[in-house]
Amino acid sequence: MVYLQELEEKIEALRVKMYEAYNKNPSGQEVLQISQTLDKAINQLEQQKRQQ
């Protein structure tokens, strides 16, 4: 359960970081990189939830 909470916190932090990067440069490479990391974290969370 702690792992799920950590993943949720990581996801929220990545969302904030992505929005900040988007506000600086919407078409920047940083937005894409953060988005990909965020997608992986969301997939991990969903996988963990299914395993419970």
Per-residue model confidence as pLDDT tens digits over 1-52: 788 999 999 999 999 999 999 999 999 999 999 999 999 999 999 999 999 8
Distances (CA, A) of 1 to 14, 28, 41: 20, 35, 16
Q: How many whole angstroms from its chain centre is CA 42?
A: 6
Q: How many whole angstroms from its chain centre is CA 17?
A: 9
Dist CA 19 CA 31 (whole Å): 8
pTM of the model: 0.90
Task: Provide the pLDDT for residue 4.
Answer: 93
